[in-house]
């Protein structure tokens, strides 16, 4: 271990980059085992029940789509804080087109309205060179107003609809494999360490699994492949790292930036569709509830990489889902999990000789442990807030070496090369 | 090699009567240059002489207003870099055009993916070129982790990958340390031997004389002479560039007093991992003395200066300024106590590039008149008046003090910094590479200002990679090697080669010093 500590990591070697997928898997598996352990210790079976995991998945995916949108845009050098607004446009599109023309039209409509919002952002930031944050915030405000106005105009007179919500929408096709989910359910009921927990995971993927969620999951692999394995992706990333260099090599920087922002908006719109067609039964004003921003945070936590961004989204999704599953007991069990996590982070930070972070992690870890030990349940009012606090703590104290695209957020003017 | 016999006789590039006007400025007029295939052709001239504009015209970034360009005997019109690339012309920019977070392979294939894709074929091709010219590059390494010399080789490889036979290098040595310059020149000669034509822009005349086959001198936008390196000396070349007799850096009679102004004892500095960066540094500078620090870059010069100005904290040692022990003082306190500092990288540490000159005047003086009044309020009037004084007194060529620092040439930026650092009556001036990247005219003026500081009784710490500058200006020269002071020399009696061997540690008797018997 000592060699790993003394050698300051200027840059990881190619071998280490290749093992990134492996490391991601290890983190995920390790976290899951700890979760199972906590479940066994605390007896809070909802921690890994298939119901909780299913809610987690539906809570995760909209955030993950927003984050993935942010990834596309920021990899091309455009900060997209307008994701929230594009997501709102997506929920509205799903509501209108989904109700009138069916599931597929709803999804396409959501994506297209997201793209429309992104078009505004691309025009403002790339073509006119307006500050990315200003444009993004403006889009969020506009989208909020437009969605409120159009919802009233479109849905007020419909049966089951109202000025702030659409009638119930058709749901995308759901995957059910009873042959697997049945036995898995039985196994889950035994509450065996790890085995029952894994059964919950199997059940989550075989019972009432929305095809739209599967599609969204697939987009992660598509993104990874396109951005890092194709010429298009290389050019797009070069615009986020060194646009002047890209232009000096004959690459049309504006074009790639605009495409990236449009894709970003499409993904955020898809996130909106997930919200109104999968996570709930229809469109509602204010449905996104700042998930666009949370997606952006998950992306930063994930170091501008699909795998890390997915982990960050899952963390947010899980802590959002838990309060709804016997919240007072589950969130109380979560305290122990957080305490363990913080201590683990503390050890890692200590090994990396980051004393301040280590002390902070230990201190909060002990605090959470005490809290867990001296109480039996968490007050109901606190259950919905606790996830955000714990997530914030984990994100803050696990601080890693974040590396954002070098030209991210900078306005690029054509002709800056040479 | 098969083509080189026929190629040598041909002209790779002929520029005739090239002119380029920008609003209010004539950047180029009546430029005539002939560049032979398979040669290294140097283009020299002061900053602002029009070299870069000319090269941008040749690379298709700018279009000429007059004149003709002939490449390989054919009239061509180059309106974009893509046209130039198609004609086999490639350019290595002074400021590297590389994306740090991408690999060497990605940087090279970017924009030329059609040639060999972005996968294994490209990797094979890059390795082949790298081996052919001895570049030693790993395609899968991140550019971020490469040194400056390696980055430059990536740039050259990028150009070669696209099949360029005519390569323009814009001040390629400005960012390199001496060993890297040697490596670059070896690469350039190798390229030349394989039939490539190289155009080399520089104002470092020794280098030009060492590597070029032909030299064209530019002054005020036009070509003034074409010479062979064997026929001229560096001094004659410099006079062609400036158009007048040159001052030399040499100092006049000694003004050294016995009053010690800066006394450093047992200074030790470690990096984050605890490795020593400076070990047992001790020296004195007297009023009216210039102490020159020689050394190959990266041997602790930057660390020494940053420790003395208070940017880094030593683990041991004392620093005394005049009578006072300033070891524990902050940078601001040290500056207020009378340290002026000309930083190594003026664009990163010396200036706010997008702020007007008068705001830059306040930097480093943000607690002192005339820029700041009692109570911490800015005295805009005072700052402006004093900026006007600096512009006048130090001959900073600028349209006005509301111009941003970025708009000034390197030499004028540096003159402004010198003027600012000499304000507020310093007693110690630390100058780190004060004339690096500065044209000959400004260089002479900066030398004058340093000499004047010495006459006024300041202690001056001069760090430079230019040995002639060190020998010419200093009263004493110390050599820094691997974080230790290893030798003391009297500039009156030392030669650059003696200094050079002490700098590389080749001279075992360096500690005795050659100046003791003076």
What ipTM did this prediction achieve? 0.77
Domain parsing of chain B, residue ranges: 4-242, 260-345+426-512
- At B220 the pLDDT is 76
- What lies within 8 Å, CB to CB, of A164 at 6+ separation is A148, A151, A152, A284, A285, A286
| Homologous superfamily assigned to B260-345+426-512 | P-loop containing nucleotide triphosphate hydrolases (3.40.50.300)
Our CA dihedral for A26, A32, A37, A41, rounded to 10 degrees, sits at 150
How far, in Å, CA of A314 to CA of A316, rounded?
5
CA distance B474 to B461: 9
Distance of CA B308 to the CA centre of its chain: 23
Contact A251 B110 (CB under 8 A): yes
Helix (H) / strand (E) containing B301:
helix B301-309
Q: How many CB pairs under 8 A join A and B?
A: 81
How, if at all, do strands B290-294 and B316-321 pair? unpaired
Pairing of strands B476-481, B290-294: parallel
Q: With a CB-CB cutoff of 8 Å, which residues 197-216 of chain B face chain A?
A: none
CA distance A409 to A73: 10
Biggest CA–CA distance in chain B, Å, is 77
Contact at 8 Å (CB) between B359 and B372? no
How far apart (Å, rounded) are the C-alpha atoms in residues B466 and B188?
22
Query: In which element (H, E) is residue A397 found?
Result: helix A386-397
Q: How far apart are CA B180 and CA B135, in angstroms?
A: 12
Q: Is the CB of A246 less than 8 angstroms away from the CB of B81?
A: no
Which chain A residue shows the shortest CA-CA distance from B57? A418
Q: Report residue A284 as tokens.
A: 């509602």
- Output the pLDDT for position B23: 62
Nearest partner of B462 among B333, B301, B353, B300, judged by Cα = B301
The Cα–Cα gap between A89 and A273 comes to: 9
Please count the residues of chain A. 418
User: Could you tell me the mean pLDDT of each successive run of 10 residues in chain B, 518 residues long?
Assistant: 46 88 74 91 80 86 87 86 86 85 91 84 91 87 84 89 90 75 87 90 82 88 87 80 63 78 91 83 91 83 90 90 88 90 84 89 83 81 90 86 83 89 89 81 86 90 84 89 87 78 61 38
Q: pLDDT 10s digit of each residue in chain A, 418 long?
A: 333 333 333 333 444 455 667 777 887 888 888 888 888 888 888 888 888 899 999 999 999 999 999 999 999 999 999 999 999 999 999 999 999 999 999 999 999 999 999 999 999 999 998 999 999 999 999 999 999 999 999 999 888 888 989 999 999 999 888 888 888 888 888 888 888 888 888 888 888 899 999 999 999 999 999 999 999 999 999 999 999 888 888 788 999 999 999 999 999 999 999 999 999 889 999 899 889 999 998 898 888 999 989 988 998 898 888 888 887 888 888 888 888 888 888 888 888 878 888 888 899 889 989 988 998 888 887 777 766 777 777 667 665 667 888 888 888 877 655 4
Residue A210 phi, psi (nearest 5) = -70, 135
Q: Which residue, B490, B484, B26, B364, is CA-closest to B219?
A: B26
Smallest CA–CA distance, residue B110 to chain A, in Å, is 6
Q: CA-nearest residue of chain A to B115?
A: A231
> pLDDT over 90 for what percent of chain B?
20
Q: Which residues of A touch B103 (CB under 8 A)?
A: 14
Token pair of A296 as six digits: 């952006």
pLDDT reported for residue B6 = 42
Closest CA to B474 of B300, B264, B288: B288
Nearest to B100 among A235, A241, A244 (CB): A241
> Could you identify the residue written with the tokens 């500590």?
A5
Domain-wise residue ranges, chain A: 47-312
How far does CA A374 lie from the centroid of its chain? Answer: 33
B4-242 and B260-345+426-512: identical CATH topology = yes
Cis peptide before B147 (omega within 30 of 0): no
Query: Which region, left, alpha or beta, applies to residue A250 given φ > 0 means left and ψ of -120 to 50 means alpha?
Result: left
As a whole number of angstroms, the distance between CA B278 and CA B275 comes to 9
- Which residues have CB under 8 Å from B183's CB, separation 6+? B149
CB count within 10 Å of CB B22 equals 11
* Matching CATH number, B4-242, of 1.10.3720.10, 2.60.450.10, 3.40.50.920, 3.40.50.300: 3.40.50.300
Answer for the pair B449, B488: CB distance below 8 angstroms, yes or no.
no
Which residue in chain A is spatially nearest to B53 when comparing CA positions?
A418
Pick the residue from chain B with its C-alpha nearest to A6: B273
CA A61/CA A309 separation, integer angstroms = 11
At residue B486, the pLDDT reads: 87
Cβ-based contacts of A235 with chain B (< 8 Å): 110-111, 113
What's the 3-state SS for B207-259? HHHHHCCEEEEEECCEEEEEECHHHCCHHHHHHHHHCCCCCCCCCCCCCCCCC
Instruction: Judge: A250–B102 Cβ closer than 8 Å, yes or no.
Output: no
Return the SS3 of A254: helix
Residues of chain B found within 8 Å of residue A249, distances taken between Cβ atoms:
81, 97, 110-112, 158
Residue A62 to residue A200: CA distance in whole angstroms: 22
Which residues of chain B lie closer than 8 angstroms to A246, CB-CB?
99, 110-111
Q: Which residues of A touch B (CB under 8 A)?
A: 6, 8, 10-11, 14, 230-231, 234-235, 237-238, 241-242, 244-246, 248-251, 403, 405-406, 417-418
Distances in Å between the alpha carbon of A51 and those of A197, A210, A276, A279?
12, 14, 20, 13
Tokens describing residue B161:
């990958």
For residue B68, give the nearest of B34, B27, B22, B26 by alpha carbon.
B34
The overall longest dimension of chain A from CA atoms, in Å, is 70
B97 closest CB neighbour out of A10, A234, A242: A242
């Amino acid at each position: 271990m000592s060699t790993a500590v003394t050698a300051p990591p200027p840059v990881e070697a190619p071998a280490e980059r290749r093992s990134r997928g492996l490391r991601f898997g290890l983190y995920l598996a390790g976290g899951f085992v700890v979760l199972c352990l906590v479940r066994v210790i605390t007896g809070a079976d909802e921690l890994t029940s298939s119901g909780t995991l299913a809610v987690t998945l539906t809570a995760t995916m909209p955030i993950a789509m927003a984050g993935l949108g942010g990834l596309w845009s920021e990899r091309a050098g455009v900060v997209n804080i307008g994701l929230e607004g594009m997501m709102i446009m997506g929920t509205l599109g799903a509501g209108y087109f989904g109700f009138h023309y069916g599931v597929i039209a709803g999804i396409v409509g959501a994506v297209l309205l997201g793209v429309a919002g992104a078009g505004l952002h691309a025009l403002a930031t790339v073509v006119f060179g307006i500050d990315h944050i200003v444009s993004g915030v403006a889009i969020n405000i506009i989208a909020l107003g437009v969605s409120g106005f159009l919802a009233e105009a479109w849905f007020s007179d419909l049966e089951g609809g109202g000025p702030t919500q659409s009638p119930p929408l058709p749901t995308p096709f759901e995957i059910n494999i009873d042959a697997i989910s049945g036995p898995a359910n039985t196994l889950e009921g035994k509450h065996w360490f790890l085995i029952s927990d894994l059964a919950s995971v199997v059940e989550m993927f075989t019972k009432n699994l929305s095809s739209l969620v599967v599609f969204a999951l697939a987009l992660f692999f598509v993104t990874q492949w396109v951005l890092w394995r194709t010429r298009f992706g290389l050019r797009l990333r070069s615009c986020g790292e060194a646009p002047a260099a890209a232009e000096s090599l004959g690459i049309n920087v504006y074009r790639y930036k605009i495409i990236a922002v449009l894709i970003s908006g499409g993904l955020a719109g898809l996130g909106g569709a997930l919200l109104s067609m999968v996570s709930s039964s229809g469109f509602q004003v204010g449905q996104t509830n700042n998930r666009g921003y949370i997606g952006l945070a998950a992306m930063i936590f994930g170091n501008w990489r699909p795998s890390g961004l997915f982990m960050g989204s899952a963390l947010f999704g899980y802590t959002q889902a838990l309060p709804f599953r016997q919240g007072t007991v589950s969130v109380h069990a979560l305290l122990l999990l957080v305490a363990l996590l913080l201590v683990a982070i503390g050890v890692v930070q200590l090994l990396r000789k980051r004393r301040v972070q280590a002390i902070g992690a230990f201190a909060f870890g002990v605090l959470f442990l005490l809290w867990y030990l001296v109480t039996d349940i968490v007050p109901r009012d606190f259950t919905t807030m606790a996830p955000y606090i714990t997530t914030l703590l984990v994100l803050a104290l696990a601080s890693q070496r974040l590396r954002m695209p070098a030209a991210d957020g900078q306005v690029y003017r054509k002709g800056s090369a040479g | 090699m098969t083509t080189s016999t026929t190629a040598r006789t041909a002209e790779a590039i002929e520029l005739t009567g090239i002119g380029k006007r920008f609003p209010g400025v004539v950047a180029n007029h009546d430029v005539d240059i002939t560049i032979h295939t398979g040669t290294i052709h140097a283009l020299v001239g002061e900053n602002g002489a029009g070299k870069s504009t000319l090269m941008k015209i040749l690379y298709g970034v700018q279009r000429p207003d007059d004149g003709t360009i002939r490449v390989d005997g054919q009239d061509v019109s180059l309106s974009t870099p893509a046209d130039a690339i198609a004609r086999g012309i490639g350019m290595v920019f002074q400021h590297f055009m590389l994306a740090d977070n991408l690999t060497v392979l990605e940087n090279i294939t970017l924009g030329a993916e059609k040639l060999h894709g972005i996968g294994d074929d490209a990797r094979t091709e890059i390795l082949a070129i790298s081996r052919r010219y001895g570049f030693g590059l790993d395609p899968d390494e991140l550019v971020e982790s490469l040194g400056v010399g390696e980055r430059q080789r990536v740039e050259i490889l990028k150009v070669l990958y696209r099949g360029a036979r005519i390569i323009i290098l814009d001040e390629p040595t400005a960012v390199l340390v001496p060993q890297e310059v040697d490596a670059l020149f070896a690469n350039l000669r190798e390229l030349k031997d394989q039939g490539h034509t190289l155009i080399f822009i520089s104002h470092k005349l020794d280098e030009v004389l060492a590597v070029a086959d032909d030299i064209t001198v530019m002054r005020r936008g036009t070509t003034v002479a074409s010479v062979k390196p064997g026929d001229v000396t560096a001094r004659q070349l410099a006079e062609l560039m400036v158009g007048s007799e040159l001052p030399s850096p040499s100092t006049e009679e000694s003004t050294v007093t016995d009053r010690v102004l800066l006394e450093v004892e047992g200074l030790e500095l470690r990096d984050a991992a605890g490795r020593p960066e400076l070990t047992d540094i001790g020296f004195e500078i007297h009023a009216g003395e210039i102490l020159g620090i020689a050394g190959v870059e990266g041997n602790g010069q930057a660390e020494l200066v940053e420790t003395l100005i208070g940017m880094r904290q030593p683990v041991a040692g004392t620093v005394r300024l005049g009578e006072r022990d300033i070891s524990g003082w902050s940078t601001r306190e040290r500056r207020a106590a009378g340290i002026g500092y000309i930083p190594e990288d003026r664009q990163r540490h010396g200036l706010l590039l997008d702020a007007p000159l008068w705001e830059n005047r306040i930097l480093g003086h943000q607690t002192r008149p005339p820029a700041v009044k009692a109570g911490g309020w800015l005295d805009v009037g005072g700052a402006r008046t004093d900026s006007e004084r600096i512009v006048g007194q130090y001959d900073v060529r600028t349209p006005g003090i509301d111009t941003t620092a970025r708009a000034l040439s390197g030499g004028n930026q540096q003159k402004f910094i010198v003027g600012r650092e000499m304000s507020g009556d310093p007693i110690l001036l630390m100058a780190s590479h004060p004339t690096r990247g500065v044209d000959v005219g400004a260089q002479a003026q900066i030398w004058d200002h340093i000499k004047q500081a010495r006459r006024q009784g300041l202690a001056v710490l001069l760090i430079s990679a230019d040995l002639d500058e060190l020998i010419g200006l200093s009263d004493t020269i110390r050599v820094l090697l691997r974080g230790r002071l290893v030798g003391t020399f009297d500039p009156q009696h030392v030669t650059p080669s003696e200094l050079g061997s002490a700098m590389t540690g080749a001279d075992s008797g360096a500690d005795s010093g050659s100046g003791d018997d003076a």
